Structure 1
């Protein structure tokens, strides 16, 4: 009985602590798109493998969210939306921002959107990722039948350790999750704008370490992007619950010290 009373008092104290704490302006994002424009010449120049007169690497197919989400990884590797194997335009390619739940077919590992942040203090508070649906299929000039690669099911991630002010490399990266995880692109010269219920992110795409196996030139600029999504508050009940747990932890520590 004594233990139960202590637990009840701790819960009450935690609730009071949460109610007296200053409000946390927690937000996430919902919906929206990221539009990518690849520079086909810059992309070809950045990949060292070049066995024939064809470009060293070019975009053969793009599967937007509806086309990608109805296919397995093997189907994306083999299906043709555009007949033949010729290069397709690499402009205005639209990826969709995922929701909080994602259903994946075989070989796919698309990520849900889990990002949370304080709009007034983004860099110091951001956690989680923005999941994106859509897949590139590139043809690589290997001179053999093993000449296609997939890149997509991206997670847009923020890591301050990735930032390099001298080169313009930002803390943002796009990670591939088709079949396996790899850093496809580092994002350069990024502009972040949060206002009027929207989050806008734009900048340039630089090759990441995910292209090292093709002898890609790390951080070579191969295109640009723009992302637009809506900012929505995280439900207050979640933050009150988290605050309450924090209060319980602090109370528990004080009791152990006593």
Structure 2
């Protein structure tokens, strides 16, 4: 009897552990859809507020922004010929988050200088109920669809986009968070590091915000940096998944509006009666 009871106990423990593992797997988060927003502090003068060294550009600005509907129709060689202002950049650049597979989607990757990345970002159950957390542990990347064109005091055009957003441990120096944006148009290069991040999760839902800082390599290439220091802050970002839906006018607003119109109509009738 004792041996049978022991086996029964072990079986119950095994089943409980399995159930817990399944529950944890079910609660793990996976990024599916959404939008990644970038707001430059000074899109018309990207040099403003930066620490510039010898050989830095004397002019640098956002010339065009190709969002998904446009970016999906062009390769890099076509983009660089587009005149400035043909696709004016809004105050907030919205990059659609790519699906987990790009095959058959029409999203360009692997040719013509275009290298969109599939989204593989996922996190375990320990990370699926965060509230304004200053760190976030996840694997994989978010692939972002869109390309930024910049021009300035140089001959030619620079394209930056087909970004992947992910964690790179070597980039976490106690100031930079380790989460970085890597350009994949024509070649791979880390364009931005992030700082002062805030992460909120609810299962598969993710709100991830923070500051974008020009990376040391970009600072050296454009701003006269030494390859170690960063020129300064570029702007801010937010990753929202799932993408926010269009917000309908609340019923309360309709009720308030109809009530207001009713009051106005009543006042008008009263005034008309007094005049008569």
Fold shared by both chains (TM-score > 0.5): yes
- Cα distance in 2 for residues equivalent to 1:148 and 1:62: 13
- Cα distance in 2 for residues equivalent to 1:62 and 1:118: 35
Match of 2:237 among 225, 232, 248: 225
For residue 159 of structure 1, give the secondary structure of its aligned residue in structure 2: strand
Q: Show structure 2 runs of 5+ residues with no match.
A: 1-14, 129-134, 244-276
Q: Is the 8 A contact 1:182 1:209 kept in 2?
A: no
Matched, 1:198 2:205: yes
Q: 1:66: how far off?
A: 1.1
Matched, 1:213 2:221: yes
Q: 1:203: how far off?
A: 0.8
Aligned Cα RMSD in Å?
Answer: 2.9
Q: 1:28: how far off?
A: 1.0
- Equivalent residue pairs, number: 205
- Larger Rg: 1 or 2? 2
Q: Is the 8 A contact 1:59 1:90 kept in 2?
A: no
**Corresponding residue for residue 188 of structure 1:** 195
Q: 1:100: how far off?
A: 1.1
Q: 1:195: how far off?
A: 2.1
- Cα distance in 2 for residues equivalent to 1:198 and 1:125: 15
- Cα distance in 2 for residues equivalent to 1:141 and 1:124: 39
Q: 1:64: how far off?
A: 0.6
Q: Is the 8 A contact 1:37 1:225 kept in 2?
A: yes
**Corresponding residue for residue 95 of structure 2:** 95
Match of 2:170 among 161, 170, 173: 161
- Cα distance in 1 for residues equivalent to 2:136 and 2:239: 21
Query: Residue deviations 1:63-91, cap 9 Å, x none?
Result: 0111111110111111247349xxx5562
**Corresponding residue for residue 245 of structure 1:** none
- 1:184–1:124 distance in 2 versus 1, CA, 3 Å: closer
Matched, 1:150 2:162: no
- Cα distance in 1 for residues equivalent to 2:30 and 2:21: 19
**Corresponding residue for residue 36 of structure 2:** 34
Query: Residue deviations 1:106-126, cap 9 Å, x none?
Result: 110110001121142376852
- Cα distance in 1 for residues equivalent to 2:151 and 2:45: 15
Matched, 1:130 2:130: no
Q: Is the 8 A contact 1:140 1:149 kept in 2?
A: no
Q: Is the 8 A contact 1:65 1:133 kept in 2?
A: yes
Q: Show structure 1 runs of 5+ residues with no match.
A: 1-15, 232-258
Q: Is the 8 A contact 1:183 1:210 kept in 2?
A: yes
For residue 32 of structure 2, give the secondary structure of its aligned residue in structure 1: strand
- 1:197–1:127 distance in 2 versus 1, CA, 3 Å: closer
Matched, 1:173 2:175: no
Query: Residue deviations 1:116-144, cap 9 Å, x none?
Result: 211423768521100000111000312xx
For residue 31 of structure 1, give the secondary structure of its aligned residue in structure 2: coil
